[in-house]
Amino acid sequence: AKRMGKNNYQFYEKRSMEQINDRLELEKDLRKALEREEFILFYQPKLDIFTGKIVGVEALIRWQHPQKGMISPAQFIPLAEETGMIIPIGEWVLRKACLDAKAFREAGFPPLVVSVNLSLQQFFQPNFSQMVGQVLTETEMPPELLELEITESMMIDTHHALMIVRELRKFGVRISLDDFGTGYSSLHYLKQFPIDKLKIDQSFIRDCLVNSNNATIVKTIIAMAHQLQLEINAEGVETKEQLLFLQQNDCHEVQGYLFSKPLPIEEIQANFDDIVKA
Ligand code: C2E
Ligand code: CA
Ligand code: CA
Ligand code: CA
């Protein structure tokens, strides 16, 4: 390795320069993406596990980049967080989700709960809850139909986070805890936070039938949610066997590729009856 050291060094240096340039370029594009209307929301149906009926949808953002094509949130949300762009983007997501929900109701579909993901920066921005209140009013969104998905990472700043969650709940919106089980101190926070729902992280669902530890974890989380009188959602459900396992263990709500991937709102409308039958 030593003999090749020099070349390696140049190689890596070149590559990292490329990476820095890619990032800078993406950052530049990200700053323009909002005004150029390059973001779109997809919606993944959430189903009642026993009736099989669609009870809600989760809004998931995509970036339609003019050259690079569809960019997933995993690729640009972290960048948006680091650059502060998440504040206007997050507000756009909330407003758009509420407006889509309104159009959906006005088209004669039954009222569905719409969930929106929040990011850390956005959640702790000054006047965040006021912004939510304003969007609710502006879009005539029934607050009980809006679910905000928070993560354990926000709960670390417990005092501050509790204050915000309480302000949000005063509006009457629902709060769910996303990616449950992946944080490091879940149980400690669970006791303290007034939330409505736990979403079991999809990593546990993925292997729940092949890995007995994961099966135990899923069963335990569901049982605990029942004890705490919290609703429980399992995401990333891909097989009938996983669904059966979750039904046997009294999970309430499911979402995953088994039923539907995230879709544009028009496709949810067009396929609504099929989704209900899934
Ligand atoms: P998440 O909130 O945990 O969302 C679930 C992710 O799992 C979504 O990926 C969804 O498309 C995917 N998924 C759903 N069902 C299945 C399944 O059966 N199998 C598998 N393998 N995957 C499934 P997506 O849309 O790429 O979003 C990734 C993450 O990006 C989200 O994870 C969320 O943390 C973040 N994100 C998405 N939209 C927003 C947004 O509007 N705001 C913020 N702050 N974050 C967002
Ligand atoms: Ca989520
Ligand atoms: Ca999740
Ligand atoms: Ca997540």
Q: Is it the case that residue 2 has pLDDT exceeding 60?
A: no
Average pLDDT score over residue span 188-196? 89
Burial label, 182 (beta-carbon count in 10 A; 0-12, 13-18, 19+): middle
Pocket test for ligand 1, best of 117, 125, 260 (most atoms within 8 A of CB): 117
Summary mean pLDDT of the chain: 92
Ligand 1 binding pocket includes 45 (Cβ within 6 Å): no
- pTM metric for this prediction: 0.93
pLDDT digits (tens, 9 = 90+) for 93-142: 999 999 999 999 999 999 999 999 999 999 999 999 999 999 999 999 99
Of 15-24, 78-87, 127-136, 194-203, least confident by mean pLDDT is 15-24
CB half-sphere exposure, 244, CA atoms < 13 A:
4
Q: How far is the CA of 274 from the centre of ligand 3 (A)?
A: 24
Q: Is it the case that residue 193 has pLDDT exceeding 50?
A: yes
Q: How far is the CA of 12 from the centre of ligand 4 (A)?
A: 31
The whole-number pLDDT of residue 276 equals 63
Q: Which residue's CA is the nearest one to ligand 1's atom 4?
A: 60
Burial label, 140 (beta-carbon count in 10 A; 0-12, 13-18, 19+): exposed
Q: How far is the CA of 195 from the centre of ligand 3 (A)?
A: 16
Ligand 1 binding pocket includes 130 (Cβ within 6 Å): no
The whole-number pLDDT of residue 255 equals 97
Average pLDDT score over residue span 259-277? 87
Average pLDDT score over residue span 246-256? 97
Q: How far is the CA of 217 from the centre of ligand 1 (A)?
A: 21
More confident: 19 or 159:
159
Of 72-81, 175-184, 255-264, least confident by mean pLDDT is 175-184
The whole-number pLDDT of residue 19 equals 85
The whole-number pLDDT of residue 265 equals 94
Q: Which residues surround ligand 4, an ion (CB under 5 A)?
A: 179
Size of the chain, expressed as the number of residues it contains: 278
Average pLDDT score over residue span 40-54? 95
